Amino acid sequence: MQYPHPILAREGWPFIGATLAASLLASFFLPLGWSLPLWLITAFVVQFFRDPPRALPARAGAVVAPADGRIVSVERCADPYAQRDALKISVFMNVFNVHSNRSPVDGRVVSVNYFPGRFVNADLDKASLENERNALVIDCGGQLVTTVQVAGLVARRVLCYVRPGDTLQRGQRFGFIRFGSRVDVYLPLHAQPAVSIGEKVRATSTVLALWPQA
C-alpha cells in the first residue's frame, strides 16, 4: 500500500509538536531574544521531516533513487547480504535532505535484516559495513536488488516498515532514517549506472540505473 504522503512525515509529528509547544511557551513567557532560538529549532525540525510526493520517471523498469542526497559511490564490490558480486550505488543524505526511503524497484521482499553497529560519518565508505543498518533484499523479476538503510553520525534510528513476502512498487515508501544517513543499493553487475559520484539525486524521480533490456 502506498504511503499517502502528508507533506510532513508521520515520524516527525512528535518532534514537531514538542518543539512547537516549547516555542509557543517561550514566546508567551520570555522575551523574543530568548524564544527565537527555539523557533529556529522548530523550523529545522519541520524542514527535516518534510515528505513530499514524487513523480516516477516515464522509463519503465528503471531503477530509481531510494533517497534524496548526493552520490558518494558507484563501484563493483561484494554484496554481503545477497552473497554475490554487485554494482553498488550509494546516496548520502545530509540533515537538509528529505529522509523518507523509497523502493528503487518493483518486487517482492525476500529478506529484511537489521544489524546494530557504530555511528561514524555516513559519507565514509566504511559506514556501509560498520554502522547500524537495515538491509532489504528484493526479488525484481528474478533479479536481486539489495537496499540498505545506513545510520550516520547524527542518525540514531533506522525505521523499516516492510517484512519478507511484502510486495513493493517503485517509489513506494518503506522506511525512514532520522537525522543524516546513507542508503546503499546493490544491483546485478549487468545493470548500467545512470548517475556519477557527486551528482545530486531525488528519491523516486531520479533514475539511478537501467537494466540492459530497459
Cross-strand pairs, 113: 135
Task: State the catalytic residue, choosing from 23, 90, 128, 181.
Answer: 181
The full 3-state SS of 98-111, as one line of letters, equals CCEEECCCCEEEEE
Mapped onto helix, strand or coil, the DSSP state of residue 60 is: coil
* Alpha carbon distance 77, 97 (integer Å): 27
Can 128 be counted among the known catalytic residues? no
Dihedrals phi, psi of 159, to nearest 5 degrees: -115, 130
* Alpha carbon distance 64, 31 (integer Å): 48
* Alpha carbon distance 107, 172 (integer Å): 11
Gyration radius from the chain CA atoms: 18
- The residues annotated with a catalytic role in the active site are 181
